[in-house]
Chain A
């Protein structure tokens, strides 16, 4: 054995090195191929947005579009943006969206967590039956109840109010369910200790439970905000007063009625899309974590 090693030491070592490096090369090649596939997909994801931006900065896009798509405007100008902002009260739409989204989301977080706490740690008659009632309706799509809900808003004289956009969404089965699951995992000892100290349930909720619910609350906030911000069906039913339009709904009605001026329409889209995308760049990690925690999307 020892002699054979001495006779030709280079060969086995060399082939081992060759094997290792070919395996490393294979891994590297694999990485390159995966990277190329992912990059092609990523370009397909970004290209429509980039093309939208390029066209929105082109004044001539309203008259004639280049036959070969351009990713950089031939005649860069802010003209389309100026027209978009004078055509539509976009700032007002944004403020409406901000108000509706914030209010509905805060309500959703509050009611979901309070009721979720009761279902997780409370002891009361009918607890499991009430919880099951809540769960059974979880799967029913909103579209199934939207017509009577619209008629109800009319009866309550809430059509064309902020309340109509907010009230139906400040509590929900899913939020309550998620908070109940999350709070159930909090050790009883923490809550019992506070109880022994004479804290009321409301104090325990606010001082002990809520501070421990950060990830769940963040996830729910992301979902609720995306739902409210991007909703178009419900505003379509209950809004006719232009002053109450959200940015998403304002874009929808404008896009459907004045689509012939490509540059202006795409500038309006860019105004509606870009601020949210910039926000997403900063909050991306939390948003993706939230969606992964709940499994639901916007």
Chain B
């Protein structure tokens, strides 16, 4: 288990998996600071 409180996080999402905004919402709720988000699509 990683304690995300105070950590800086890069959120790299995938369109048909977990999108970056969803990752951002999760890690921010655990106290992390998101410094970059991007969702990619490889199809």
Q: Do these two chains really belong together in a complex?
A: no
Chain A residues within 8 Å of B, Cβ to Cβ: none
Chain B residues within 8 Å of A, Cβ to Cβ: none
